[in-house]
Chains A and B, each alone.
Chain A
Amino acid sequence: MTRLNGVAALLLAAASGVCGEDPANNPDGSLSGLSLEELTNLTVSSVSRREQQLSRVAAAAYIITEEEIRRSGLTSIPELLRRVPGLTVARLDANKWVVGSRGFNGRFNNKMLVLIDGRSVYNNEYSGVYWDQNDVMIEDVERIEVIRGPGATMWGANAVNGVINIITKKAKATRGGLMTARAGGDERGAGALRYGAGDGERLNYRGYVKYFDRWSLLAADGSSANDGGRALRAGGRLDWQSGPRDLFSFSGDGYRGRSSQSVNETFQTPLATMINDTARFSGGFAMGRWERTLKASDIAIQTYYNDERRSEWVASGVMRTLDFDFQQHFNWKDRHDVIWGAGYRWMHDRLSGSPPPFDPSSRTDHLFSAFLQDDISLAPDRLVLTLGTKVLHNSYTGVEVQPGVRIMWTPGRRHSFWASASRAVRTPSRRDVDLSLAFSLPQSVYVPITVLTTGNKDFESESVAAYEAGFRSQIGRRVSLDVATFVNRYSKLEETVQGTPYVRTAPKAEYVIPITFVNTGWGHTLGVETALSWNLARRWRIQGGYAWIEAHLQGPDSADGLSYQSWAWLTPKSTFSVHNFFDLTRNISFDASLYYASRLPDRDIGAYERTDLRLAWKVGEYAEFSAGVQNLGSDRHMEFSMEEYSATSAVRRSAYIQALWRF
């Protein structure tokens, strides 16, 4: 409570401080006295900028801007996603994160789709994202767009509860050299070097190399969790504007690294026996994109190839993806803004282990998809109705249809209201269908007992019917508010069940406890998410958010003996964050962030808060030094409970220094 009083005092101080503040930019409060050159150099206030980018989106959307990324002092994508109101991010160990939107949290949150420049990094084998091997150079990121709720009509399957799209800068924007070096924080040491060149118009390119060596976090008893990691990554991008209408873009990267971890041999949380392991990974992608802009329409063709190799205790193998995507956008009869597309994705993997974790151990899947979305302006600029659907055919469940309808009403440029109803599915992954994991209980004395977890060949897609509504409002010149609410109705949710034990004689005589996946869960969730951005004073800006969520899930008890809701949900009821951006002088900035998550229901993980501070000093145009403290408030805290497969570590207080040099 004392902390909250402090916040209130700060707010009050701010409010009174504003009275004495000079209006931005010009003493008479108007910009008309400025020259055109001065005007082109003025910064549009971030309130209206964010508003501008979001004003036409009839969905719960949030954009992490480049400035926010730079001033956060955070070095990985999942840590940055903490800043999005309504997302729950929890750190599992030094190299693993839970990133969830609207519930169902877990390391492999199978209801979130993650894209980097339109390239899916969602894993077809386990349904989720390997955050340690899917990385970018943070300084290359232009923005991160996050849509909470179904994005299936545009993005396709598995965008059940959210879509994260990481968008990197055009090569034109990264000309010249950049070098960063960092010590402390999450990393023992980290550095990156980027160089870009080009004429600024037709042909531009860049290349980078980055390396990090991450500290281990702490185990429950305060000793090292032995979960550090390191990775080396190199990549680049080339943009070629071959004419006024055509833009070709090529990008790619290659990486190699390792993440130490503590894994559970038994896969059953109550019977956990932990062993130390190291995941080794390598891979890369190559991507090409062609955009043609015509007067009334534009088209984009994109293809990429992704190759990932990973070797760890449970399995080792290779996963390959080849993807083709076509998209066209055009206006039709004035009132229709139509976008449609079609795609094909080839996915191949070969995963081995002893015993082999998947049956069959190699598989090739094909995914065909097409979508159509029409923004119909019922009253120009005021009322827009969006109808859309995505139809796809996948190797597991055949045809899936994911329609959506959205409406957006914009009574004035400062206010907009939207509502939507949509359906989305989470298609089965290899794990759900082909898993074959046998574990012999060490305790069994008289008869060998084996727990056999197998996939279900008849596993169906999980589905959601989502009903959402929200509004965005710009209040005065300084405040913008974004509120979204939702009710999601789920059916055919995944559940693990224990079958009837039996005795088998081959490959050896043993008592088998079978466990498999079924589609027996159902229920609904509801919640509210708010985001606020407030320019308190010329040199002080606040951004923050609060989200509340509740679930009512039903299903048979899980194989672990937990009720369905406590097994599947794993989501804090409320989360809160507030970020302060202070420009102390023209060259010195100070940023303070507070994050809060309430306790994890049904698990022994209490509420936690986290405070990050950062002080940065810009020296001329070319150098910046910064220093910061992360997790200031406590020595260590846990953010999530143990996963079936790996141990969860405690996040500790840490400090870092960083230097950035442009040349």
Chain B
Amino acid sequence: MTRRLEALLVLSLCLTLLQAEDHGGADEYEIKAAMLLNLTKFVQWPAAKLGDASGPFVIGVLGRDPFGRDLDQQVAGKTVNGHPVVVQRLNGTARAEACHILFITRGERRRLEELGSSLAHASVLTVGDGDRFAEAGSVVGLVLRGDRVQLEVNLAAAQRNGLTVSSRLLKLANVIKEGS
């Protein structure tokens, strides 16, 4: 009796786990990956930054990549203004300026200060993962409020980085003033 029960439990567990990988739930980082791509519709990069048509649109991930395969799968085959989107994992801040979007992981918030001066006018959309990023100087912060991912936008940082942010984005996001 018990043995049959165990067998049933194990079987159902296996079946469900097999399903689990295939069917996307609303995973937090799946949402955040989709948001990164979506942000490109609300932000205008200067033509010089985008370069010629064959040049890639670079999303950099600074810090330990929390996306797993989500980001790569979502950007596959996507373009921004005709530029193919590529994802680069950065080990340091050296190549940060070359990115169009720089996603900064939770543990790397302290890097914002050192990035601040080097990214000025570099037209990089800095996106911080978590609370207090936007206050600390990233253009966008992705914060968890209750069970939803919300956007915070720091307009001063956008201006400093030389980006134009659409007013439609401001309707969806909380506008954050910079801390001192």
Contacts and interface: CB of A to CB of B under 8 A. Distances in A.
Contact of A536 (B16, B42, B169): B16
A48 interface: yes
B132 to A, nearest CB: 7
A44 B149 contact: yes
A42 B172 contact: no
Contacts of B25: 24, 45, 47, 477-478, 535
B95 to A, nearest CB: 18
Given A4-B5, A15-B16, A31 B24 contact: yes
A63 to B, nearest CB: 12
The winner among A26, A37, A478 for most chain B CB atoms within 10 A is A478
A3 to B, nearest CB: 11
Interface stretch (B7-15, B45-53, B120-128, B157-165): B7-15
Contacts of A14: 12, 16
Interface string A1-18: 100110011011011101
Given A47-B25, A381-B107, A39 B149 contact: yes
B63 to A, nearest CB: 7
A46 interface: yes
Contacts of A381: 63-64, 105-107
Question: Interface size bucket, B side?
Answer: 35 or more
Contacts of A8: 5, 8-9, 12
B63 A380 contact: yes
A49 B149 CA distance: 10
A380 to B, nearest CB: 5
Contact of B31 (A19, A42, A295, A334): A42
B91 to A, nearest CB: 11
Contacts of A535: 25
Interface in B20-42: 20-31, 33-35, 37-39, 41-42
A32 B107 CA distance: 26
Interface string B89-112: 000000000000000011110100
Contacts of B80: none
A36 interface: yes
Question: Interface size bucket, A side?
Answer: 35 or more
Contact of A32 (B13, B63, B78, B105): B78
Interface in B114-164: 132, 135-136, 144, 146-151
Interface string A639-650: 000000000000
A15 B17 CA distance: 9
Contacts of A19: 15, 19
A352 interface: no
B28 A36 contact: no
A382 interface: yes
Interface string A376-394: 0100111000000000000
Interface in A126-154: none
B17 A12 contact: no
B98 to A, nearest CB: 22
Contacts of A536: 16
A296 B137 CA distance: 12
Contacts of B22: 23, 29
Contacts of A67: 147
Given A32-B34, A32-B74, A43-B148, A477 B172 contact: no
A475 interface: yes
Contacts of B113: 295
Given A19-B19, A34-B38, A381-B106, 17 more contacts: A8-B12, A12-B12, A12-B15, A24-B25, A25-B24, A29-B23, A30-B30, A31-B30, A32-B34, A36-B172, A40-B150, A40-B172, A293-B179, A380-B64, A380-B107, A413-B29, A476-B21
24 contacts: A14-B16, A18-B19, A29-B22, A29-B24, A31-B33, A31-B34, A36-B35, A36-B42, A40-B149, A42-B26, A43-B26, A44-B148, A45-B25, A45-B26, A48-B27, A244-B177, A245-B180, A294-B180, A381-B63, A413-B29, A413-B66, A477-B21, A477-B24, A478-B20
Interface of B: 1, 5, 8-9, 11-13, 15-17, 19-31, 33-35, 37-39, 41-42, 63-64, 66, 68, 73-74, 78, 105-108, 110, 113, 132, 135-136, 144, 146-151, 169, 172, 176-180
9 closest residue pairs by CB, A with B: A476-B20, A15-B15, A31-B34, A15-B12, A8-B8, A11-B12, A381-B107, A478-B20, A23-B23
